[in-house]
Homo-oligomer: A and B are copies of this chain.
Amino acid sequence: MYSGKVFVLYKIIDPTDYHVLHPRPVYLIVSKSKTGAVNVMSASWVSPVSDEPFIVAVSIWKGSLTYQNIKETGEFTINIPSEKHLDIVYKAGTISGREVDKISTLGLRLAKSSIIEAPGLEDMLGFLECRVINEIEVGESALFLAEVKTVHVVEEMYTRYGWDLSKAKILLHNGGRGFTTPYKLILARR
C-alpha cells in the first residue's frame, strides 16, 4: 500500500466516443450561396489554431448545405449564442437548409458584416467574419482553416480578459439535447 497514492480506475470505452471532449462551446455558422441564399447550422467542432493572424479551424460535414455554400464563396460567420438560444441552436443542428429556410423558420435576423458578404446574426453575444484559407479532408468532413477578419461583440459583456462570465451565458454542447453554460470565474494562483 502506497501512502497518499490516488488510484484512479480508468475504464476503456468506445474509441469513437467524441463526447469525451465535450461540453464545448457551440456556434451558429452562417453561410451564403452564390445566388444569395443564407443558411445557418450549429457546430461545436470549432477551435482557434493561431493567434497572429487569428485563424480558426471549423469541421463541416461535406453533405451539408453549409459546406456547399462555403465551397462556393469561401466565407462564413461564427455566431456566439447564449443560453436563451438553446432551442434554436438545437433545432439548427437537426433540420436541413435544403428543406426549409432555416433563418426564417428559427426566427433569426441577419446583421450586416463589415468585410465579407456572408452576414452575421443579430441578438447573439457576438460574431466573427471568416474567410477560408485552406481546406483539409478528414473522413466525411472538411476542416476549413479560415482567417478571422472582424470580431463583433456585445460591448457590456466583454472585458479586456474575454467574456464577463457573470453576464455572458455562453452555450456549451454536451451531447444530444444536453447543453450547459459556464459557472462562475475561478482564478489560478500566480
Q: CB distance B49 to A57 under 8 Å?
A: yes
Selecting from A2-10, A33-41, A65-73, A96-104, the interface stretch reads A2-10
Pick the residue among B17, B25, B89, B181 that contacts A24 (CB under 8 A). Answer: B25
Contacts of A64 in B (CB 8 A): none
Q: CB distance B182 to A182 under 8 Å?
A: yes
Q: Could you show 23 A-B contacts with beta carbons less than 8 Å apart? A: A10-B111, A11-B153, A12-B152, A15-B150, A17-B162, A19-B161, A20-B151, A20-B163, A21-B56, A22-B25, A23-B25, A24-B47, A49-B59, A49-B138, A50-B138, A89-B188, A162-B175, A163-B174, A177-B188, A178-B186, A180-B182, A180-B183, A182-B183
Copies in the complex: 2
Q: CB distance A174 to B179 under 8 Å?
A: no
Contacts of A91 in B (CB 8 A): 188
Q: CB distance B45 to A48 under 8 Å?
A: yes
Q: CB distance A9 to B161 under 8 Å?
A: no
Q: CB distance B90 to A48 under 8 Å?
A: no
Contacts of A109 in B (CB 8 A): 5-6
Tell whether A87 pairs with B188 under 8 Å between CB atoms, given A136-B136, A172-B182: yes
- The contact size tier of chain A is 35 or more
Q: CB distance A139 to B50 under 8 Å?
A: yes
Contacts of A167 in B (CB 8 A): none
Kindly identify, within residues 113 to 162 of chain A, every residue whose CB is under 8 Å from any CB belonging to chain B. 114, 120, 122-124, 126-128, 134, 136, 138-141, 143, 145, 148-155, 158, 161-162
Tell whether A45 pairs with B54 under 8 Å between CB atoms, given A20-B151, A188-B87, A188-B89: no
Tell whether A10 pairs with B153 under 8 Å between CB atoms, given A24-B24, A53-B16: yes
- Whether a CB of chain B sits under 8 angstroms from the CB of A13 is yes
Q: CB distance B25 to A48 under 8 Å?
A: no
